[in-house]
């Protein structure tokens, strides 16, 4: 029966013509309702910057007639097009609400008074594009010392005209239980209130702030034991006006002790990191800095532990002077297991052996798009390294064969890779890669011809190499160039090889001699002649019929696709 409904979703409310019919729904009498969704479908209606379309005040009349029972716990308003919220929501009489979601209410000019709802745990505001200020009314008409007393998650998304978020300075307990604050898509928002000490996750994305918010200061004698005390996850992304991290919450080291993950991405005007670095983040495990090209650092002035020794994962991508300071940043990172450096033109060489020897836990290293990188420095001493990726580092030099026997032997014993991923076969001749001898898997792209594979390197790794993925140059110009006569004879000497993948060797007319250990063979982008040889009944079928094999052809017309 309708009176016993627990959940109710009413859609297409824009089609209501007679208010009295809506009033007959008498939702306020349905005491079993705990979930109510009121939805207006605006079809193809869109909102763009500068749009000054008219609101629809009839939406408010409809919503006022659909007041739910006071026991409702979950409320959704979607597509609501009036300037003011429904009277019953503004009155704060639905004190059992635990979740409120306002979606696509683009014409709302002020938010309802929600701050005194005692059980509200989750509040999501999405696409309220007419809202320019979150004022004191948001916290309730009869404000107390406890604002949003139970709120745990607050999400403010795509409030594109929002310029100011006011603080209730008289309130001692400011969001006392808030754990997650996610504010994004408000590029004009410059005035940001202090953040509560209870926060666990903070995301500031696509905002107009010029400085980071501070922590809310508690009055003397007030309790701060409700909810978690410290941040654990901080994301600062696309804050294009942010210049410095020297102020704001980074000035409160006691509140940062439990931060485990920090992301600073696409802050294009950012020049300064905190003057003491991130050493107060003593629990930091993951640090990701990307597209902060204007960052300035003076290596000789960097304090010790600029990166705290707790760090396990570091990604530095297009981050100005930061990578040039690697010799000063890395020595104390004895727990780091993953390091990625990408789009860093100021990186000329990896640090020396004395620096890299400290990275006793490093297992994965990625070097990508470092166009001026000329040397791998002391890489050979990182005996813990298991995965190495080097791509688009064109200046890496092949050293002359005059390296001393002593150095070659020492480097040969240093690294046993599980996986090597490179974008040209010549890198196998770069020190210390030329001395690898226990590599288990290799992935090489942009191979002009199979003859470009260094025979000595293959023989040196023949017993350990289990997986080899080889990719030719995928272009019309190379179609038909590779041939069996130029493939290395050493392939059959890879006594441990189980999986071989040959892709885009378009002119390969017959397979090289394969090792007896091989179990899986993938041949992709091959010519028709080779495909005929390998199919059932073909001239080479008996050589490969025992393998798990996939073969597919491709011609120049497919390459163009």
What CATH number is attached to the domain comprising 197?
A: 3.80.10
Give me the phi and psi of 78, to 5 degrees please. Answer: -135, 130
| Residue 124 lies inside a defined structural domain of this protein | yes
Q: Is residue 254 part of a domain?
A: no
* Whole-angstrom distance, CA of residue 95 vs CA of residue 98: 9
Structure tokens belonging to residue 454: 């260094």
pLDDT for residue 253: 85
> Is 180 contained in some domain?
yes
- Three-state SS sequence of 286-314: EEEEECCCCCCCCHHHCCCCCCCCCCCEE
Per-residue pLDDT tens for 130-171?
999 999 989 986 656 789 999 999 999 999 999 999 987 777
Of 169, 184, 209, which residue sits at a domain end?
Answer: 209
Decide: 192 and 164 in contact? Cβ < 8 Å.
no
Give CA–CA dist 57/447, Å, rounded.
66
Please report whether residue 516 resides in a domain: yes
Residue pair 13/62 in contact by the 8 Å Cβ criterion: yes
Q: Is 84 exposed, middle or buried (0-12, 13-18, 19+ CB in 10 A)?
A: middle
Question: Is there a domain that residue 353 lies in?
Answer: no
Q: Using CA atoms, how far apart are residues 31 and 41, in angstroms rounded to an integer?
A: 27
Q: What is the rounded CA–CA span in Å between residue 284 and residue 312?
A: 8
Last residue of a domain, one of 174, 192, 209: 209
Last-in-domain residue among 176, 209, 242: 209
pLDDT of residue 220: 46
Can you give the length of the chain in residues?
561
pLDDT of residue 476: 44
Reduced to 3 states (helix: H, G, I; strand: E, B; else coil), residue 456 is helix
Distances (CA, A) of 178 to 150, 222, 224, 228, 315: 8, 17, 12, 9, 29
Question: Which ranges of 343-400 would DSSP assign to H, the alpha helix?
Answer: 353-356
d(CA 310, CA 329): 13
User: What is the spatial distance between Cα 22 and Cα 14, in angstroms, rounded to a whole number?
Assistant: 12
Q: Are 99 and 73 in contact (CB under 8 A)?
A: yes
pTM of the predicted structure, to 2 decimals: 0.88
Side-chain half-sphere CA neighbours of 293 within 13 A = 6
DSSP designation for 371: T
Provide the number of structural domains found in the chain: 2
**How far is it, in rounded angstroms, from Cα 381 to Cα 422?**
20
Is 17 part of a structural domain of the chain?
A: yes
Task: Return phi, psi of residue 76, to 5°.
Answer: -125, 130
Give the phi and the psi of residue 546 in degrees, each rounded to 5. -85, -5
CB contact set of 289 (below 8 Å; sequence gap of 6+): 264, 265, 295, 315, 316, 317, 319, 322
CB distance 333 to 359 below 8 Å: yes
CA–CA distance, 520 with 135 (Å, rounded to integer): 66
Query: Exposed (0-12), middle (13-18) or buried (19+): which is 347, by Cβ within 10 Å?
Result: buried
Residue pLDDT, tens place only, 352-378: 999 999 999 999 999 999 999 999 999
Residue 315 lies in a domain: no
Three-state SS for 25?
Answer: coil
Question: Residue 45: what pLDDT?
Answer: 53
432: preceding bond cis by omega (within 30 degrees): yes
Low-confidence ranges of the chain (pLDDT < 50): 44, 46-52, 220-228, 402-413, 476-485, 555-561
Distance, CA of 410 to CA of 417 (rounded, Å): 16
- The boundaries of the domain holding residue 490 are 423-561
Give alpha helix (H) positions in 413-547.
Answer: 455-460, 528-534, 541-544
Q: Is residue 361 part of a domain?
A: no
């Amino acid at each position: 029966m309708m009176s016993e409904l627990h959940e109710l979703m009413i859609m297409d409310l824009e089609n209501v013509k007679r208010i009295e019919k809506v009033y007959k729904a008498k939702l306020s009498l349905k005491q079993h309702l705990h979930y109510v969704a009121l939805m207006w479908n605006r079809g193809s209606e869109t909102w763009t910057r500068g749009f000054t379309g008219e609101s629809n005040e009839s939406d408010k009349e409809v919503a006022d007639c659909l007041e739910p029972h006071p026991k409702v716990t979950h409320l959704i308003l979607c597509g609501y097009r009036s300037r003011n919220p429904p009277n019953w929501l503004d009155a704060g009489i639905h004190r059992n609400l635990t979740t409120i979601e306002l979606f696509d209410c683009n014409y709302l000019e002020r938010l309802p008074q929600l701050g005194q709802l005692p059980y509200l745990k989750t509040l999501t505001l999405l696409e309220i594009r007419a809202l320019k200020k979150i004022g004191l009314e948001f916290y309730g008409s009869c404000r107390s010392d406890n604002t949003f007393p139970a709120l745990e998650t607050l999400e403010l998304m795509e409030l594109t005209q929002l310029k100011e978020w006011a603080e209730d300075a008289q309130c001692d307990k400011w969001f006392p239980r808030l754990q997650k604050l996610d504010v994004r898509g408000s590029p004009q928002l410059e005035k940001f209130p202090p953040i509560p000490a209870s926060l666990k996750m903070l995301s500031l994305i696509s905002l107009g702030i010029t400085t980071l918010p501070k922590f809310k200061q508690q009055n003397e004698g007030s309790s701060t034991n409700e909810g978690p005390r410290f941040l654990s996850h901080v994301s600062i992304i696309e804050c294009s006006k942010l210049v410095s991290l020297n102020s704001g919450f980074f000035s409160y080291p006691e509140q940062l002790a439990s931060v485990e993950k920090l992301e600073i991405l696409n802050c294009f005007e950012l020049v300064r990191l905190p003057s003491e670095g991130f050493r107060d983040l003593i629990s930091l495990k993951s640090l990701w800095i990307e597209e902060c090209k204007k960052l300035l650092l003076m290596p000789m002035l960097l304090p010790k532990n600029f990166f705290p020794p707790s760090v396990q994962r570091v990604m530095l991508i297009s981050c100005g002077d930061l990578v040039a300071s690697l010799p000063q940043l890395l020595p104390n990172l004895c727990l780091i297991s993953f390091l990625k450096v990408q789009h860093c033109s100021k990186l000329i060489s990896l640090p020396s052996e004395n620096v890299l020897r400290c990275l006793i836990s490093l297992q994965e290293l990625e070097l990508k798009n470092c166009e001026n990188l000329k040397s791998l420095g002391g890489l050979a001493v990182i005996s813990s390294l298991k995965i190495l990726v080097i791509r688009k580092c064109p200046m890496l030099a092949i050293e002359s064969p005059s390296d001393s026997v002593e150095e070659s032997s020492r480097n040969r014993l240093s690294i046993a890779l599980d996986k090597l991923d490179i974008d040209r076969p010549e890198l196998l001749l770069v020190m210390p890669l030329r001395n690898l001898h226990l590599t288990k898997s290799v992935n090489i792209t942009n191979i002009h011809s199979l003859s470009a594979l260094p025979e000595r390197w293959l023989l040196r790794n023949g017993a350990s190499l289990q997986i080899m993925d080889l990719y030719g140059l995928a272009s019309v110009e190379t179609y038909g160039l590779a041939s069996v006569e130029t493939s290395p004879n050493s392939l059959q000497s890879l006594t441990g090889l189980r999986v071989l993948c040959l892709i885009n060797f378009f002119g390969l007319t017959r397979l090289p001699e394969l090792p007896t250990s091989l179990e899986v063979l993938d041949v992709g982008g091959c010519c028709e002649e080779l495909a005929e040889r390998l199919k059932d009944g073909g001239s080479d079928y008996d050589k490969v019929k025992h393998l798990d094999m996939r073969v597919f052809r491709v011609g120049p017309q497919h390459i163009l696709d």
